[in-house]
Structure 1
Amino acid sequence: MKICVLFPGKIKPKALLAAQDEYAKRLKVFGVEVLEYKDEKVSSRTPEQTKQAEAERVFKLLKVGDYLVACDERGKAIKTLEMAALLRASRSGDFPLAGKRRMVIVVGGALGLAESVRQKADAVWQLSPLVMAGGVARIVLLEGLYRAFTVVEGHPYHNE
């Protein structure tokens, strides 16, 4: 199963780009693709209109048979071993990924995700109880995915 991570716009602050690139490179070995979708500028629109415009861009990137994970502060806190179990299921086609072709993990823009994305999602993960800058959320997610893959592979990166 392919895994696709969707991020809004370009990473900010730029100082985090090297870390994002490093984890994206490490994850490529596991078949993880990191993509960016165009984020909306916070403008004269309402926050909900801005989030919905971004949601429409996300929906255009989804395919039939995708398992959608939304990263949102109101989601379920995901632990490394839970993420590893989901990655194992993605490889074996077990529940909850049976019949799914691709796992898509999406992070929202500056205002977060539209409710329509949360409702469409098969799972909603909380990366931290803290609200964090989008660039930091990217690194947290990518490192967490890399760590979970090393658990699946039996690599000593994760010390538990």
Structure 2
Amino acid sequence: MNTLQRAWRHAVTARLSLRRHFTPAVLETIEATVRACETRHPGEIRFAVEAGLSLVDVFAGLGPRERAEDLFSALRVWDTEHNNGVLIYVLMADRKIEIVVDRGVAGGHVPQSEWDACAEAASRGFRAGQFEQGAVAVIESVSSVLAKYPPGSPGVRPDVGDELPDSPVVL
């Protein structure tokens, strides 16, 4: 997709569309899912969704991955005792899901294919217009990966409690 097409998509993907798909009830379900999933592993999950980027950012070439990495920092997902934060970022205008993982999650040794499979779980739901199911699917998939590759170092207390808010971030 060229820059003008992308700019158009970002300009017309209104916050109204975001609010239509991510209603207060859907946001409550996302929060409850994060809370429940975090009881099964020591990782910390944040879920963020954004309708579109500013046109300045689009024309500057800011991509979904770079935006997700910026938000990973801005939302302080990195700021956990065991570096075990995971950000799930949805950029609706680009129809992209990015998963950014802190270095303490299995020492960075989780195969990228596993994170890609998590993102695909959400994409299937979103493509079908089932945004609640897609969000729940990606959170549960990420949770399964975190349970399989627990964050933390040997000899270190594996879970220090709920360090990050469970509520989703709507940008």
Tell me the TM-score normalized by structure 2.
0.38
The structure with more radius of gyration: 2
- Higher percent of residues as helix: 2
Tell me the TM-score normalized by structure 1.
0.40
- Higher percent of residues as strand: 1
